[in-house]
Amino acid sequence: MKLEKYVDKSKKKRKVILISISAIVLISISLLLYKTFASFTESAEFPIMNGKVDYFGNSDIYFVFYKGDDELLEEMPQKDNEENLVFDHGECDNGASILWNENEWAPLVKGLNKVKTKCSLYFEEKQYPTAVEYITELAKTDTTNLKTDDTNEANIRYVGATVNNYIDIGDKDSSGAPILWRIIGVMNNITNLDNGGQQESLVKIIRAESIGSYSWDSSASGINEGYGVNEWSQADVMKLLNPSTVYSGTPAIGGSLYWNRGSGSCYNNSKEANTTCNFTSSGISEEAKRKIAKVKWNTGTFATYSTSQWTTRATYEAERGSHNGKEECTSNGRGTNCNDEVPRTTTWEGYIGLMYPSDYGYAVGGSVRDTCLGKSMYDYNSGSCNTNDWLFTSSYAWTMTPTPYSSYADGVFDVYSSGSVHSSSAFSAYGVQPVVYLSSSVKIIDGNGEKGTPYKTQLAS
């Protein structure tokens, strides 16, 4: 009996040991399998080096990177790379598959059950809309801040007191902070001289802040009594903003200083009075220059001076008309206030201009929009027109359009600090806000138009 008991106990002990060993082996195998297979389905953090992953100190997964379908890349593109390459799709052999973790910017391999698995990752250049496409599409849903005007061109314009239309075209100040512009709208039938003179839709923008207060034009005391000449193609402010090739000669005062980010002197009063000016950190940058188009601008005006005519629509048509700022003065006899010999034009070809009076007029929004558009812009200081117009700055601001007078040839449209559209002598020192048309190849790649997150731009490659 004692022997039988001993044998039973021995059998039971061996059984327990065998079960324990089996359990340990099973657990070990399970852990090994889990580490071999399951880890790959849970981790997106593969240390990628030289086109392969070294996960266990082995090289069981090989990654190959492509741009497009067949352009082999030496390494995986970094997130936010300069080429704007984004992940398109991935393929693996041996039955494995690829998931992409955008936040981690890393591949997730699933179903890895064999060694020496090859995975190919394909990256494509992200397709961004052009500025025209972006604003045009946005106007379909944002019918409060974007309106189609009543002109034959049916331009799309930002309207209202407060609109998110800030845009960064590459200008930076001395601290490296962006110098912002604002989008006036999408203008149709613009003659783009950079594209063979074709009629195109282009985005028109204005500097968010004035670059200073300067004369539109000043003249010697013997010319229009020193009050300036209201012809944009030779105006001092045009010469300040544009490259020297736009006009003959290189004036000692104000010539291309904004365009060249230079410093010197600028006209600021009658009889060629001037003051120091410095655009070394506020002038247009080389990057921004590459994004703007050379276009044909309209510089026409009304046939006669009458403030009651200055409705926004009538002013828009006059800007594109055949009358200039001197013909009425000439027809009534040439006096000392219109004795200049400067030829008058109604179009101009160049890069940087100023806003039109009609740009200011059409920027009104809110519940008063229809009422304001029906009256003269001379009366925009009433009826809440100015306070519902984002182009109103509470400061005197120049436009690029001359005004006709019977007794002098130096009048130019401007916006008074009250919000009323007036005419002033060209020598007056008023705010200058440069205006440009963006190249048709400029794309919007980021941002929402708010001042803190402006639209980011990039030239198409």
Which is nearest to 413 in space by CA: 339, 343, 354? Answer: 354
How far is CA 353 from each of CA 79, 82, 441, rounded to the nearest angstrom? 39, 32, 20
Separation between Cα atoms, residue 408 and residue 330, nearest integer Å: 9
DSSP one-letter code for 4: H
CB-neighbour burial class of residue 399 (10 A; exposed 0-12, middle 13-18, buried 19+): buried
Separation between Cα atoms, residue 187 and residue 293, nearest integer Å: 13
The CB density around residue 60, as the number of other CB atoms within 10 Å, is 17
Q: Where are the domains of the chain?
A: 48-125, 183-437
Which is nearest to 278 in space by CA: 267, 262, 292? Answer: 262
Give the helix/strand (H/E) hosting 295.
strand 295-298
DSSP one-letter code for 454: P
Separation between Cα atoms, residue 393 and residue 106, nearest integer Å: 48
- Write the CB contacts of 450 (distance below 8 Å, at least 6 apart in sequence): 164, 166
Using DSSP, state whether 183 is helix, strand or coil: strand
Using DSSP, state whether 241 is helix, strand or coil: helix
Write down the pLDDT at residue 366: 97
Tell me the residue type at 165: N
Tell me the residue type at 402: P
Instruction: From first to last of the 461 residues of the chain, give the pLDDT tens digit.
Output: 443 444 454 555 555 555 555 555 454 544 444 344 433 333 334 444 444 444 434 567 888 999 999 899 989 999 988 888 999 999 998 888 899 999 999 998 888 777 778 889 999 988 899 999 999 999 999 999 999 999 999 999 999 999 999 999 999 999 999 999 999 999 999 999 999 999 999 999 999 999 999 999 999 999 999 999 999 999 999 999 999 877 766 677 999 999 999 999 999 999 999 999 999 999 999 999 999 999 999 999 999 999 999 999 999 999 999 999 999 887 666 678 899 999 999 999 999 999 999 999 999 999 999 999 999 999 999 999 999 999 999 999 999 999 999 889 999 999 999 999 999 999 999 999 999 999 999 999 999 999 999 999 999 86
CB-neighbour burial class of residue 231 (10 A; exposed 0-12, middle 13-18, buried 19+): buried
Separation between Cα atoms, residue 302 and residue 270, nearest integer Å: 25
Which is nearest to 310 in space by CA: 385, 417, 238? Answer: 385
**This prediction's pTM:** 0.81
**Residues 218, 273 contacting (CB under 8 angstroms):** yes
Residues forming beta bridges with residue 203, ordered by sequence position: 186
Separation between Cα atoms, residue 364 and residue 384, nearest integer Å: 9
**DSSP-assigned states of every residue in 384-440:** TTGGGBTT--SS-EEEEEE---SS-S-EEEEE-TTS-EEEEETTSEEE---EEEB-T
Where in 299-410 does DSSP place strands (E)? 347-350, 397-402
**Residues 230, 217 contacting (CB under 8 angstroms):** yes
**Residues 126, 84 contacting (CB under 8 angstroms):** yes
Tell me the residue type at 3: L
Give the helix/strand (H/E) hosting 202.
strand 198-207
Separation between Cα atoms, residue 139 and residue 324, nearest integer Å: 35
Token pair 């392969």: residue: 52
- Write the CB contacts of 19 (distance below 8 Å, at least 6 apart in sequence): none
Separation between Cα atoms, residue 450 and residue 47, nearest integer Å: 38
Tell me the residue type at 374: G
**Residues 206, 434 contacting (CB under 8 angstroms):** yes
How far is CA 201 from each of CA 261, 353, 438, rounded to the nearest angstrom? 29, 17, 10
Write down the pLDDT at residue 56: 34
